Structure 1
């Protein structure tokens, strides 16, 4: 493709600049737009016009990034750069079109250098991707420079001026620009760089050789006049804004002081030319041309060139045009002190220092440099830098000073701000409550702040090989840290950041502390390790407080978890935040599943609304709110009464953070309270029953005494009447009525007795008959009784307890039918239980059993109550109609006898109770007493009873049997009689219950007097003395009233 077609195919070229390289090229942001400036920009515009293409500048990226994009062919053209082997890999270079000299810059107070070789071991500021760095690396490997890497050329001058680097290499034009712009007047040209002049070319992407050839041809068409115009335009502009004459002097001193001599020799040369001009017109023209050049040079220098007398006023003989911008005065106002002397501009407190510095330099025949303050014509204070030298005039012999004064206010301001910033950083560094340590790039600790020293108890400046002086363990593993395993060692070796490493350290004073250890690398602009920082945060107190808080929290959690109440916490929106195990149990979910949910996830909407309303009431009230609520839990169907307290929770600032709830299941308490009331009622009922029982016992005693007389006298009368007569029949009716009355009294006494636990061989059938006989007189007439009593087996038991079984079950059955009537069936049969016996007889050993079945045709027992009917005090009857102890008593008796009881019930068939009691056949057959063979005798008997009728009846009966008797109706009288004549009586028959001395006590006195005395004790009812108690007292026999004369005769 020819060049013309190539240009047509590539109308737009991407141009990479990306570096501030004045006066050659730089970019600025003006009026919200980027602008490309400098000599190179004119060449680029010239090429664009002549080739008819667009040069699109790629702005706002650093030069190294521009080069990287050039490698990727994202940038096509670089208009100004030096040729290096690395760049030649991806660029084609045009013929050089610009060049510049290089110099070494140092601080004013730095030692004099002769060449690049004198830089050995020094701190050197350099931009890594520019040609100076590659030149030093390749051609000076033995310099061992400590590189201070920067991003831009101008930063090289900054770090040298601030003392962070010792030197840098820079082209003279750029150095002048930046020194003036930044006021860096403490810099000097230490030496020239004797390298082959650095040549600037244009670079074209390597796959575009056609474009490279086009550029070379186009640049060849640029005339020398065009080049000079471009050069004069930008160099002049730059000098207008800041070429530093001091830099020119320093460079001049470095290479033979050429420029300085030029300036110093100005006036001498001018006078010499004046003398020569008188001789020839050519010399005159040369002089004028020389003056023009020198005037242009001096006029373009920043600041003020001067020539003055060495007097107290610093009387000015010459001032350059820079005088007015610096001082506000025109040169004519200060020359020869026309308006004011220059010394008057110097601040009064600085004048002695300026005078002494200049005079000392004059005396030692050397140049002087001094910085001081002046006030310009407007009264503004400025810092100035002055460089000068004393010169002896050859024609007059006068000593004059020639030099240069420049405004360094901006630089001093920057330096002052920097000092303040550094001072602030030092103070912050020291007062920070966390430990800070700085290490150099080798890992050597170089500085620690107060907090860091306090943590460790020392400030060891050690390197990695000495890290063993630090003792620490990692937590929680308690792994001891090896010297090469410290976080700082890893940061130095690998450039990594380590954050919040938990350590237990042993400080140098022996104390142990817990710290968070962090390290981070400090990198230069190119990502290379420059230093490292270590941060130590002493959290010993915090760890201790956290441990105490955890222990306290653990104790609180243990307490909360052990509480059987439901405990929970919600946020203000009703979302669960926490709960205890009891809450989990009732809600049927783990805490992890409950957190983040609301009541609507666990209970029905109505109950959830109720909970929410209660929460809001507590929040609005701002204090605990309590209530009782019946709850049904979906998880297990439990329904209970809960006492709930809701407490609004606030943070330390008083902001609402949630609602704490505590709920206690008071169902049992509520039930217990109801049962307590019922028990109190039952107690009153029991007390009533006990009173009735006591009354019944007392009545029974009196009845038995009366019945004893009736039965006894009727028996006596029957012996004296003719058999078959009407009188005998009447007496028989009286006798039978007395017997029936005695049986009724006996039934009454069953309720009055406190014990009945004596076990012995009994038959159930007679007890059933007796119970049914008693029941018939108490149940309604609309209830019929059907009995089947076919048992012959004997069991070991207590008649009273068996009687209770029949009475309780039959009474309950009759009450179930009293409204509509029905049939009460009572069955007592014998049954043999074996392995093959049908029915559920689990738990019963094989053998003979007495089977009791009691059924009714009533309404039946609800299914949900059957399991509770044998519980004490369980009853479905109205208050006052039952104690709830009947069935529990029956169940207890059956269990005591090792039997079983079943209940079946339904609405249609009523209720049936079935009882199996193990039979224990008696080894002896009981023989009923016979009426034949009534014993007779002639002994003397003492009869004692407070009822005279009884003693009278008993005496007459005994006398018929041949006995002699003495009747006494008072116990005290009987005791007196027996004490006088104990041997007169062979037997004593006495009543138990008598006024004064009771029968048991009287018997005891008789036995003391006559131990072998037979005593028969009779009682109508006694709660004090049982038959067993009587036997223990030595009483021979115990007879219950009414007295059966036949039984008495055989006793």
Structure 2
């Protein structure tokens, strides 16, 4: 056969159905062969690996124990015999016995590049009652035999399957050519060579007779081609009509292309014929081709939702005559995203829709511009809503609200009117008249801005910023930006109050020492006079009044010391409820009967405080409340309850942290507190009472105690009338064990020891000496600390106790005590002071001082402390 003939047959065969059939048979056979062979080889591979594992098992169970015994006896010959015996197994290639990583015996060898698998077996020898580890047997098995056997099986399977596939393929090709491919080749040749003038020639197949009752697929194909040949003749005639219509469309195209980026279309209902202008092809990303299925090509560009909407609108336009106008997003055939506006209008012939005409406009740029504007406005609104300040825009003349951010809506409501806005923020500014403002509250041009601080009708403070800006419609409007500084104002007021209280505390501490020294003389000598006066005489009554007056003066001094930072009394865990209940009993008997007391004492919580000062807090608050209702009477309401501040929406006062607080609430229905004096009621010596009716220290003392304990006190109006004082004190989980009070039988302890008294105030020194003398002691008095030190140095054993003032010229009391204790470490020393911030109890204890006493000193406390220290020297600081 000539070479070119073979080449032609080969080229035909390459593109024939038979070649494709052969290809699929080969591919399918290959897949089946591959899957079956892979599975079979996998099973054989696992079987070979299992055989290798069996050899390892045989080593462990058949040789390991006897080999361990030979190793223990160091029988080299027996070990070598065992190893060589194991090497007779099919896949074992190398054996090694190691001890501590060192090879003792080996058998066989490992080839370079050879694949193997190793298994290590620990070798034990039973010796006595235990086992000893004597080495490790490493067994190497070669995988070369496994792989070789695997390759041999693979070769046999592949050769067998290839022969089977070849034979089956040749048989199928022969049958397929006889029944199908030669006829299809003849049909293809007919279809390729047919010409318009040959449409009358009928297709007939050689050597084939059709069965009209039971035609097969080839017969049906031949019949269909002959029918198509007949239809083509009629289609040729209609094509001429279509070409004529296309000429008319060119005029439509010329008119449509004058429009910017708009494509026109027309649909003939009877013919189901679509006509597009060139611009419509461009919008869809298509080449101009009038033979396309235009509706399908256009619908494929829409997303599912838009496609359904357009399809429905088009169907209603054709069937019901409803026009439509839709904006949709499409993805062109070139992958571009576009926004289009598609419209359709029906054309009627009588009541029947015969045509639909419409256009499609590319509105991508305008949509992008609108979207950019929306994003910009959304971003701007997000920014303005996230600002922790109120922002609004209003008309410059009418104050009509044009815009409010989220903070302003939340603060004043979405329905805020221009009049309400003006009253809230502008009225105060007009009164103050900041630079640049007009009498009507006008604002300067956009080059300037106004800033002012105001307090609106709701009581909130704001820093306001305002300028003129151009609004979206081109007019000038008022841009207002306000920052709420109410909390800052409150904190500033708290800071001013704190500084004021600290200054007064320093003043109180400064005068306390001298005043207590004076009271020491008054009370001490009054006690001496009462000891000498005849009982039940007028003189005794006078002296008792003097003593009571002095005691009240001591109480007043202690109240003043509440404001001194270092004048704090010790705080301990106390339960407030019984203190409040006891205080209310006293209050009931001390206020007018026209004042009714109601109570609700719930809390069982503890605080870190002082029972006396809790009593003082309640007494002062209730006394002030009763005074406010003195003329007309009223109701005094006292409540004690627990509050969790900062949880569940409960607001926290500025100076407090969130947590659990004990709350004392004292409310009255009196005359209330004028707004102009509320900021001053906690100041020391401030009073609204007449001369001689009040000291002005009550509420100041309450404020000082509450602040010292880490609490807060606030005053509010009581609706409908009166005032409410609310005290917050932090709750503690600590508890105190109540000490048993010392027995008081009225008899003062006495003694006969020798005591050195040192005080730079001669009246006080003499007074203490006389009291000690009447208690049986021998008192040696010195008013100069240096002289007292010299006297003690001359005879330290002559004194049993030293009592010294703290503040003295030349040498202070603590320096004197240090010198005395250096000379005689076991000496009991009492340090006395009217007021001092220099030393704490811990510092005095480190010095060795056994006790300290706060002036004024009374006879009872002096007798108890002196006697106790003389009897129990060295057991710690005692405070009197």
Structure whose alpha-carbon radius of gyration is higher: 1
Q: TM-score, normalised by structure 2?
A: 0.45
